[in-house]
A and B are shown apart, each in its own frame.
Chain A
Amino acid sequence: MSLDRFLRLGETMTLGTHTFTAQEIIAFGRAYDPQPFHTDPEAARESVFGRLCASGWHTCAMWMRYNLEGIERDVFGDWDGSGAKPEFGPSPGFSNLKWLKPVYEGDAITFTRAVTAHRPLASRPGWHLVTLAAAAHRQDGEPVMTFDNGVLMKAT
């Protein structure tokens, strides 16, 4: 089996759907991003957003949760190639993150991921850099967030 097939190169995988509640938006906002439009429904009505909405970092973190659940459900293919099954490691970072629309309380957000490329790392023998396109869409199909993510993968 090739790494292309294992990683389903170029295929957009649906990871799951999460409905953001006011309670969790406010809890995350109070801990990490206490701008009034993330913590106070009254103040949010007076803000540019018009209603209580999730911190952009909350949407990112939720993408990660569904991304991992997707891996556990074997969104990536079963490994029947030679050598050990590839293992995912840490991520060096992300880029081009766009918060396109606010995520309001009650929005049902569907998370997706597609592997766009992979290459062996000259600096770390045995490791590859896998590049992913991540996205989140609202119940009406509008994209609310996109970004490009990298993750290290151990594979022989």
Chain B
Amino acid sequence: MTDKKWAFEELEPGVTIPFGEKTVGADEIVAFASQFDAQPMHLDEEAGKASILGGLSASGWHSCAIFMRMLYDALLADSTSQGSPGITEARWKRPVIAGDTLTGHTTVLERRALKSRPGIGLVTFRHLVTNQKGETVMEIENPIMFKMRKAGDAR
């Protein structure tokens, strides 16, 4: 039993959950890049403008981390999540430029009970991150494990 809002049972194919908004500041772009992805277009405004990305842009891994926080706040925090085995595919479609405001949503594609782990099911999502112009900046397909409210509730 659980008092969480989202368990395996609620996550039916087609269910869509909106993300909140997150404005990405220059300082955090530079801080993340300094630690993990110290390339000029992620560290310096001028170098960013001169690059193919066209401005001070977040590391793609930073965009993934920001997306993770959006998914946590929108879904995982109040769920029976048991972690994820991986990412099927992630596409960085457009750069995230300093000052951009990101949002998006996730949609359940499919789900199944795990024979190997009774009481736990695997839910596959299509996550979409968009910017303030409505453009898609990132698309991710990703399975996540959730506990069931009742073991054997797999459909």
Q: Taking beta carbons and an 8 Å cutoff, which residues of A are in contact with B?
A: 28, 31-35, 37, 48-49, 55-57, 60-62, 64-65, 68, 89-99, 147, 152
B59 part of interface (Cβ distance < 8 Å): yes
Tell me the complex Cα distance, A90–B41, Å: 10
A32-B69, A97-B86 in contact; A68/B61 too (CB < 8 A)?
Answer: no
* Cα distance A62–B60 in the bound complex, in angstroms: 13
Q: Which residue of B lies closest to A55 (CB)?
A: B68
Q: Are B35 and A65 in contact (CB under 8 A)?
A: yes
A95 x B90 contact (CB < 8 A): yes
CA distance A62 to B65 in the complex (A): 12
| A60 proximity list for chain B (CB < 8 A) | 61, 64
Task: Spell out B's residues near A (CB within 8 Å).
Answer: 32, 35-39, 41, 51-53, 59-62, 64-66, 68-69, 72, 76-77, 81-92, 95
Q: CB < 8 Å: which of A49, A56, A61, A90 contacts B36?
A: A61
Contacts of B36 in A (CB 8 A): 61-62, 64-65
Instruction: Please measure, in the bound complex, the distance between the C-alpha atom of A61 and the C-alpha atom of B32, giving whole angstroms.
Output: 9
Q: Looking across the interface, which residue of chain B has its beta carbon closest to that of A58?
A: B65
The 5 closest A-B pairs by CB, nearest first: A97-B87, A32-B65, A61-B36, A93-B91, A98-B86
